[in-house]
Structure 1
Amino acid sequence: MSEIEHSTASDDTTAPGNGPGRLKKTIVMVGMMGAGKTAVGRALATRLGAPFLDSDHEIETAANMTIPEIFARDGEAFFRKKESQVIARLLVDARGVLSTGGGAFLSEANRAMISQKGVSVWLNAGLDVLWNRVRHRDHRPLLKTEDPYATLKALYDARVPFYAEADLMVRSDAQTSVEGVVDRVLAALATRPDVLEPTE
């Protein structure tokens, strides 16, 4: 991702003439860990000819540490503060597709900032789908508990009401390919002329 860390869009358009449309605001992917924010975000950015950015990656680059290392050394509160700062910068730096960490949208200030300067898209995946995607990964600091499934369920139950405040909602399920989910996102964005202006 280093080649796009500092990418910026032109003032007039971020998408080529043969893309689905011209991007006028940054699209911010929100949702639980395992929802597909990075995979779908990358594919969406490619489809739009726009930069793809990942807030977790940007934080790791700035700190020269991994997210688990930041959590272990500085705690979650410190991480959330840095996360908000990074999201604020990325919303201004480039009109593109931004993937955020699962907890980013819980902050009222982040939600307001994202809706004002961009558009939030909730990738809504069911608990079983999420568990099947994250259960074999050991780099999720919030799931390093004695019962990771119970932890994930508690996070899911607590966070869904916040994700439901997103500007748009798109289903992410086990039966649909990444490109299929991108199609759903583009269909949802088509209802927002302030975000995606169709090409002629």
Structure 2
Amino acid sequence: MVLVGPPGSGKSTVGAVLAERLGTTLRDTDTDIEQGAGRAIPDIFVEDGEAHFRALEAAAVRAALSGHDGVVSLGGGAVLDAGTRALLAPLPVVFLQVALPDAIRRVGLDSARPLLAVNPRQQWRALMEARLPLYEEVASTVIDTEGLTPEEVAQAIVDAMELTAA
């Protein structure tokens, strides 16, 4: 099971709850990148640039998808890579859809997220305009997270999985 969505959609938080419910573990590719680089993602962006970060991200996604059979949470921009989208095609992928107010509340206006540093509302809208078709392309299930707790989102995913398995 793979979780995708924009910043603030709850991929890491919901992923942890979902993994616990499914009796498995969560692998978060953003955490993998930070551990591998020995630096925080904003530092990688500032010091090495977005292109370098995206290369690290694509490698982290490949490793996670091939080496982990639990829940995998991808960074918000991972779907930008065509190779990643191809790897996701045969997998159960859940797109966590989030409304702008919820996303802004979750990530905060003073967030250290590099792509949301200046004018976060406008940047988030621009990210969604570019990424929404890609999230929809890779998703086998879409869960609207608006007004839901992480536990409720995880339950909605479990319920959707049961429907598709039936």
Class of the TM-score when normalised by the shorter of the 2 chains = over 0.9
Q: TM-score, normalised by structure 2?
A: 0.93
Q: How much has 1:150 moved relative to structure 2? A: 1.1
* SS of match in other structure, 2:34: helix
Matched, 1:171 2:136: no
- For residues 104 and 26 of structure 2, the distance between their equivalents in structure 1, rounded to whole angstroms, comes to 26
Q: Which structure would you say has the larger Rg?
A: 1
Q: 1:83 to 1:50 in 2, by over 3 A?
A: same
CA RMSD of aligned residues (A): 1.5
Query: What stretches of structure 2 of length at least 5 have no aligned partner?
Result: none
User: Deviation digits for residues 40-84 of structure 1, max 9, x if unmatched?
Assistant: 000000001111110010011011011011111111111111111
Identity %: 37
Task: Pick which of 91-100 and 34-43 moved more.
Answer: 91-100
Q: Where do 4+ consecutive residues of structure 1 move more than 3 Å?
A: none
- Please, which of 30, 41, 51 is the counterpart of residue 67 of structure 1? 41
Structure 1: runs of 5 or more not aligned: 1-26
Name the structure 2 match of 1:184.
156
C-alpha contact 1:131 1:149 (8 A) present in aligned 2: yes
Q: How many angstroms apart in 1 are the aligned matches of 2:121 and 2:148?
A: 23
Show the counterpart of 1:101.
Answer: 75
Deviations 1:140-183 (A, max 9, x none): 001122x221111111222111111112111111x211111111
> Normalization by structure 1: what TM-score?
0.78
For 1:120-149, what per-residue CA distance to the aligned partner results, in whole angstroms no more than 9, with x for missing partners?
Answer: 11001112221222234421001122x221
The number of equivalent residue pairs is 165
Partner of 1:153: 125
Larger helix proportion of the pair? 2
What is the alpha-carbon distance in structure 1 between the residues aligned to residue 93 and residue 15 of structure 2? 12
Which amino acid in the other structure matches residue 57 of structure 1? Answer: T
- Show the counterpart of 1:87: 61
